[in-house]
Amino acid sequence: PFSFTQRTTHLATSPPEGFNATFQQRYWLDLARYSKGQPVLLVDAADKPGEETVRLIEQGIVSHIADEVEAAIVVLEQRYYGRSFVTNNLSTASLQFLNTDEAIADMAYFSEHFPYKQHWELDTSVLPANAPWISYGHWIAGTKAALLRKMYPNQLWGAIASSAPLLAIQNVWQYLEAIRLQADPLCMQVVTTVVADVDDEIDRAGLNDDGEIIITEPLARYREMFNLSTEKTVRDFMNQVATPLGLWQRRSWDERQEDNRAWEYFCANLTRGITLEEEIDDQISAVEQQNKAVFHSRAMDNYAYYIRHYLAVGHQRPDMSQLSQPQDDEVFPLGEIRRNRTESQKTELGQVWRLWYWQACTEWGYFSAAEPYPLPATLSRSLSEFYLTEVCRFAFDFPDDYLVTVDRINKHGGVTLHAPRLLFVNGEDDPWLYVTAHSPLAGDMRTKLGDGYLLRQGGFANDRTALSRLADEPVEIRLVHEEEIKAVKEWVAEWKLQ
């Protein structure tokens, strides 16, 4: 990677005492397809070290777009992540410049002051005044691409935003509800049955003087069945039970992607020996009552069996030293924070798990509590919003009554955000769909977009990877890839006509 001297703050006159005026921001440059005067494809690494994005590009749609328009590819690492250190620790005070507005301003400043002199192959023709800069990103990187296009149109000519969340919400229970509605009905019936049965026992157990759920004999038995007796509280136990729900987001058409079939394995285990015929309504005979009991018993046994083996084959509860790169789709090991509160307050640079959670706690939210009544719950209702946000209070010393400042994100327009030459790509089965440009909240804006593509049965960022031959891809994926390439070629042609 190369290094760029970036401003510590673009939004304040100068950084406060204790901060340097600048920091070194890493970037990667690929000129293998580049021809002078052609576009620059800017890819933001968002909440991961830059190396991970570089690896993804090698088997992704960005390389195909670059081939078609003879573009340079630039990967920019986000401030604080990877080795783009802004400060020498990750204390609450040191993290004050980790926010989306500063990170987007980084991208604009970087493009405008791109250090072409460091690269003998380049000259001023690569700057945004002389060549179209176009950004592609998925997840938060997609959000940043969209906001960069909206906020800094002179620096960014076009953008493709894949599965990009545009609406920040403290409690995004709709994420779990999307999984319940889209996944295999029998599999979800097992999940909601197990959660309801444990929650019924939790309601009977009551609370002790510390506000913790009393561990009754049935709850202790459930905990032992799941091999989670090390979880000291019932809430921590049920939080671990919910961990596999994050596998829904990892589904992919691309066999090369890790865990792309993990959800199928999860549901196959949960539904083993169970049929929909055993699912019985409330008005039941004695025989039907027995069948219902069998369903509940098998559901609990199957879920417990899966968790025992899931935790035994590489998905063990991580210790604090292993929390370096939490995935955006994983349930945070809050029980570990509660067990190791002193450890959770360490602030050296190696504690990089603090980075995304700082952003979640201060501007994004995305803590998923159970679906509200009367909807069936895929997550224990004992895992309240207050419980799920304990990481913010434990790690950053936020007060009990704090709220995530979601207006920092939503001030830009939320799900109705739009701009010329901005293409949104989403999937019908993406659990984040509710907070994207194709959200039902967008109303008529969805029909006004004209610059959006909704993948039928598509999942989270399913367009980001591509085969070396697009013709070998599933039809729906190939079509969206062709649309993305077509859009960029049209944007480049439009640039040359201006």
Q: Phi and psi at residue 283, in whole multiples of 5°?
A: -80, 95
Q: Tens of pLDDT along 122-170?
A: 999 999 999 999 999 999 999 999 999 999 999 999 999 999 999 999 9
Q: How many CA atoms lie within 13 A of 257 on its CB side?
A: 23
Mean per-residue pLDDT for 48-67? 94
Residue 314 pLDDT exceeds 80:
no
Q: CB atoms < 10 A from the CB of 43, how many? A: 26
325-329, 347-351, 473-477: which has the minimum mean pLDDT?
325-329
Which is more confidently placed, 279 or 170?
170
In a domain, 403, yes or no: no
Residue 81 pLDDT exceeds 60:
yes
Sorted by sequence, the CB contacts under 8 Å of residue 335 that are 6+ apart come out as: 231, 232, 233, 236, 237, 239, 240, 317
Tokens 């939503």 -> residue: 410
Tokens 């000291």 -> residue: 232
Inter-residue contact 42 to 135 (CB < 8 Å): yes
pLDDT band at 35 (very low <50, low <70, confident <90, very high): very high
Q: Quick one: 246 and 356 in the same domain?
A: yes
Range of the domain at 482: 2-167+409-497
Domain count, the chain: 2
pLDDT mean across residues, the chain: 90
Compute, in degrees rounded to 10, the torsion defined by CA atoms 97, 98, 102, 104. Answer: 170
pLDDT band at 219 (very low <50, low <70, confident <90, very high): very high
Q: 3-state class of 489 per DSSP?
A: helix
Residue 309 pLDDT exceeds 80:
yes
> What was the pLDDT predicted at 293?
85
Q: Quick one: 213 and 133 in the same domain?
A: no
Closest to 45 in 3D by CA, of 98, 12, 84, 87 = 84
Residue 241 pLDDT exceeds 50:
yes
Which is more confidently placed, 156 or 443?
156
Q: Quick one: 229 and 358 in the same domain?
A: yes
Strand partners, 7: 22
Q: Quick one: 417 and 361 in the same domain?
A: no
Q: Tokens standing for 164? A: 């990009």
Residue 282 pLDDT exceeds 80:
no
CA-CA distance, 22 to 8, in Å (whole number)?
A: 5
Q: Tens of pLDDT along 160-187?
A: 999 999 999 999 999 999 999 999 999 9
In a domain, 351, yes or no: yes
Q: Quick one: 322 and 437 in the same domain?
A: no
Q: Quick one: 415 and 389 in the same domain?
A: no
Q: What is the DSSP string of 130-143?
A: TS-EEEEEETHHHH
Beta strands in 8-132 (DSSP E): 22-30, 40-44, 72-76
In a domain, 402, yes or no: no
- Of all helices (H) and strands (E), which one includes residue 6? strand 2-7
Q: Quick one: 137 and 196 in the same domain?
A: no
Q: Tokens standing for 190? A: 């097992």
In a domain, 401, yes or no: no
Q: Within the chain, how many helices (H) and strands (E) appear?
A: 18, 10
Which of 365, 396, 427 represents a domain boundary (last residue)?
396
Handedness of CA 180, 184, 186, 187 (dihedral sign): negative
CA-CA distance, 313 to 468, in Å (whole number)?
A: 32
> What was the pLDDT predicted at 336?
66
CATH number at residue 418: 3.40.50.1820
Q: Quick one: 157 and 187 in the same domain?
A: no
Distance of CA 260 to the CA centre of its chain: 16
Mean per-residue pLDDT for 446-470? 83
Biggest CA-to-CA distance, the chain: 82
In a domain, 327, yes or no: yes
Which of 396, 430, 455 represents a domain boundary (last residue)?
396
Mean per-residue pLDDT for 237-266? 91
Q: Quick one: 266 and 176 in the same domain?
A: yes
In a domain, 186, yes or no: yes
CA-CA distance, 192 to 443, in Å (whole number)?
A: 30
CA-CA distance, 118 to 2, in Å (whole number)?
A: 9
In a domain, 463, yes or no: yes
Q: What is the DSSP string of 399-467?
A: -TT----THHHHTT-GGG---TTEEEEEETT-TTGGGSTT-GGGTTHHHH-SSEEEETT--TTTTSB--
- SS3 track for 252-309: CCCCCCCCCCHHHHHHHHHCCCCCHHHCCCCCCCHHHHHHHHHHHHHHHHHHHHHHHH
State the Cα angle at 49 between 45 and 51, rounded to 5°: 85
CA-CA distance, 254 to 258, in Å (whole number)?
A: 9
Q: Quick one: 389 and 443 in the same domain?
A: no
DSSP state of 360: I
Inter-residue contact 306 to 266 (CB < 8 Å): yes
Residue 329 pLDDT exceeds 80:
no
pLDDT band at 497 (very low <50, low <70, confident <90, very high): very high
Q: Quick one: 144 and 223 in the same domain?
A: no
Which of 366, 396, 426 represents a domain boundary (last residue)?
396
Inter-residue contact 406 to 165 (CB < 8 Å): no
CA-CA distance, 270 to 29, in Å (whole number)?
A: 46
In a domain, 47, yes or no: yes
Inter-residue contact 424 to 444 (CB < 8 Å): no
Q: 3-state class of 207 per DSSP?
A: strand
Q: Quick one: 272 and 128 in the same domain?
A: no
Q: CB atoms < 10 A from the CB of 123, how many? A: 12
Q: Tokens standing for 474? A: 């599933």
Tokens 């600048």 -> residue: 22
pLDDT band at 27 (very low <50, low <70, confident <90, very high): very high
